[in-house]
Structures are given as C-alpha cells and as structure tokens.
A = this chain, B = another copy of it.
C-alpha cells in the first residue's frame, strides 16, 4: 500500500463507514467530505476517478478489514463447526450493537451498483473472492477435500450474507443463530 496523505485516508475510511450504512447512491460526496473533515478542493486531485474511485477504494478497505476479522476468528477455531458458530456470533453481536445499522460493509454497494458501475462491481467481486478463499483454505486445512471445501465456503459465505440482509430487516439476530447452527452441522469434518 502506498503512503498516502491523512486527508486521503480519512476520506476513504469515512466513505467506507457511510457506504456500509446508506449505500452508494444515498451517500453524497459532500457528506463524506464534511464528516471526514477533508478539504473539498483537493478531492479530485486525490481521486481523479471521482466518487466511483473513492467507492472502489472504500470497498477494498472494508473488504480487507473484514478479512482480518475473519482470519482472527478462524485462527481461534481450527474446528470448522466451531469456527462457523464463532463467526455468526461475532457478526450478530456487531449488528445488534450498532442497532442494526452496520451489516456487511459492501453488500449494499454490490447490489446497487452491480448493474451500473463495473468498477464497483469488480471491486466487490474481488472482496467476496478473498473472503471465500480464506474460508475454503481453512476448511481444507481442517481435512475437507478441496472441491467440497470450496462449496462449503461458498455456502457459508452466502448464508451469512443473506443473514445480514434479513437480520437488518427484521431487527433480530435469529437469522444468525439459526443459520450458524445448521451450517455447523454441514461443515463438520468426518461423519
């Protein structure tokens, strides 16, 4: 990662937080700049690609932060079943702790923009891919065959993505707890 000015970094961090809560279209450049305290005049110097570039960098940042968190949880639970339950608990307590305002940091952007901006769509796809790879590698390390591990990782990823959506809508963590319990059965190693 290249060294970057504080203004530039602040802008990306603020953008990531706002995109998570409001999505891309509903988040104005003005709001991002105001909340980040970054000056308006140099925005297009830092981000020649405009709002779209900022969005893509914010998605990448949020994706790598989440990657770190997934990695930390997996590191504490070699057993896939326990790891899956731990992930569910981590995310559901986040969600409830933010009064259901902070779900998956990139899903909203992914959905809104996958038909409108290929830059943002690809940025999201890269992030999803990195999360998937991490889960798959963990399952392989735990003894699953590579192909099955890939499918299991995908199921886990999809389920939790969906759980975020429904949990926010229902304002309830039931989706996470029920989903995690069943996922634990599926990803268990051996018979």
* Across-interface contacts of A155 in B (CB, < 8 A): 159, 178-179, 182-183
* Across-interface contacts of A182 in B (CB, < 8 A): 151-152, 155, 186
Indicate if the CB atoms of B154 and A161 lie closer than 8 Å.
no
Selected from B115, B151, B161, the residue in CB contact (under 8 A) with A181 is: B151
Q: How many residues of A contact B (CB 8 A)?
A: 49
* Across-interface contacts of A163 in B (CB, < 8 A): 158, 162
* A121 and B169 contact, Cβ closer than 8 Å, known pairs A21-B115, A23-B23: yes
Q: Which residue of B lies closest to A121 (CB)?
A: B169
Shortest Cβ gap from A78 to chain B (Å): 21
CA distance A157 to B163 in the complex (A): 9
Selected from B23, B25, B170, B185, the residue in CB contact (under 8 A) with A186 is: B185
Which residues 122-179 of A have a CB within 8 angstroms of B? Answer: 124-125, 128-129, 150-152, 154-155, 157-163, 165-166, 168-171, 174-175, 178-179
A–B complex contacts, Cβ < 8 Å, 8 sampled? A22-B112, A22-B115, A25-B112, A124-B169, A150-B178, A155-B178, A158-B159, A165-B165
